[in-house]
Amino acid sequence: MTLPHPNTDQISLPIVLGVLGDPTRLAIVRYLASKQGVPLNCSQFLDLGSKTNLSYHLAKLREAGVTRAEVVGTNRMITLRRADLDARFPGLLDSVIAAAGDDPALPAVGGHDIEIHA
């Protein structure tokens, strides 16, 4: 089973900005960025709420072209589409992640092991 993802040239700035305007989705992106391309199981984000809520947020990120979700058995492995976003909108992702920094308004993901490597 493969999930639909937009091609790099189909990623739209207004849609990406709209998706990143949600604190939960921004926290997911910040956490993915801290893992520097290592695919994460969607269960890594259960700190953020119910499975249904998490599925919704992960789908929005994937549909916007911010993340890639690969089905591996019964798991979905999530990665940040950093190269695609940087090619389409140079510097945008780094700026958003830097601005989010340690914003206390963002929900915590995965405990306190977030280190930003922009």
Query: Does residue 76 lie in a domain region?
Result: yes
pLDDT tens digits, one per residue of 95-105: 999 988 877 77
Residue 112 domain-assigned?
no
Give CA 18 to chain center in angstroms.
Answer: 13
Per DSSP bridges, beta strands 67-72 and 75-80 are antiparallel
Q: What is the pLDDT of residue 118?
A: 40
Q: Could you give the number of structural domains in the chain? A: 1
CATH, residue 19: 1.10.10.10
Q: Which of 15-24, 43-52, 61-70 has the lowest mean pLDDT?
A: 43-52
Written as six digits, the tokens of 74 are 């019964």
Return the pLDDT at 87. 96
